[in-house]
Amino acid sequence: MTSLVESLYPGRAAASAAAPDDPMMPRRYRIDHTRQDTRDTFTLELEPVDGPPMAYTAGQFTMLDAFGVGEVPISISGDPARDGPLEHTIRDVGVVTHALITAPTGTVLGVRGPFGTSWDVSGGAGGDVVFVAGGIGLAPLRPAILDLIAHRDRYNRVVLLYGVRTPEDILFGDELRTWARQHGIVVEVTVDNGQHAWRGRVGLVTQLLPRAGFDPRNTLALVCGPEVMMRFVASGLVDRGVPEDRIRMSMERNMKCGVGLCGHCQLRELFVCVDGPVLTYDRLAPLLSSREL
């Protein structure tokens, strides 16, 4: 049967050995470990079957292929500077994601990529950096946070505002505490629905903005989560004086092929998988106000 690569790029499959860094060429990765983070979210640690690990930057994504089931785009959630497994944090929301998170250790997956633009957190050096995450949106932000931590002395005040539905949905709980205690990051968490044992904040993540204490004139803001949340967060940041071109958002709507061919992720003149997923708010502001584009 003709593969996707062969059908789109005739002859390239035969040349894979000569082009090992071609992101369109699927590479084989083995599941080394699967960690359950929440009731429906898991992190896969993948090791390459042959060749060196994939190099990537914070904010990029790959296309993960569960052989015989399908392929999905997933943001990389690991440390781009670490010589370790390729990490993807995945929510169990469909047939392919379910196949990925339930595959036993040792299962071989196909991995294409990396694709997309990066957070480029270094653009915030010398000033304040604000991370705003909603739900699993913390996973794509994690590489940028780890990148910042590796050069913590280059940044002033660093704030992470994180909103989830319930306390049980909080990702990377131990790391959140480490980031706050050891790296001087102000971590504020809020939930939509606090249970009896929850003693933290209850409410929308946008309600945390007034208490974040950053200098809007010298701030880089990185935002990832549901689109409606990102739209209100960006509006709140602009109201506080953060320039639109200093607000970066990760858009992941309906990505399918990763290379702008299928059109599923088209946002008017933009193709999220190619022009994004990380885009500045000054480019997105006129588009996010429309429900269908």
| Single pTM value for the model | 0.90
What does the alpha-carbon distance between residue 255 and residue 241 come to, in Å, rounded to a whole number?
32
Residue that wins the pLDDT comparison between 28 and 10: 28
Q: What class has domain 121-288?
A: alpha beta
Residue that wins the pLDDT comparison between 3 and 145: 145
Same fold? 4-115, 121-288? no
Half-sphere exposure in the Cβ direction for 170 (13 Å, CA): 22
pLDDT tens digits for range 232-261: 999 999 999 999 999 999 997 677 777 788
The mean of the pLDDT values for the chain is 90
User: In residues, how long is the chain?
Assistant: 293
pLDDT tens digits for range 192-208: 988 778 888 999 999 99
Q: How many helices (H) and strands (E) does the chain have?
A: 7, 15
Q: What is the CATH number of domain 4-115?
A: 2.40.30.10
Q: Which of 25-29, 106-110, 194-198 has the lowest mean pLDDT?
A: 194-198
Identify the band that residue 290 occupies on the pLDDT scale cut at 50, 70 and 90: low
Domain extents in the chain: 4-115, 121-288
> Which residues share a beta bridge with 29?
48, 109
Are the C-beta atoms of 160 and 187 separated by less than 8 Å? yes
The two structure tokens encoding residue 122: 């270094």
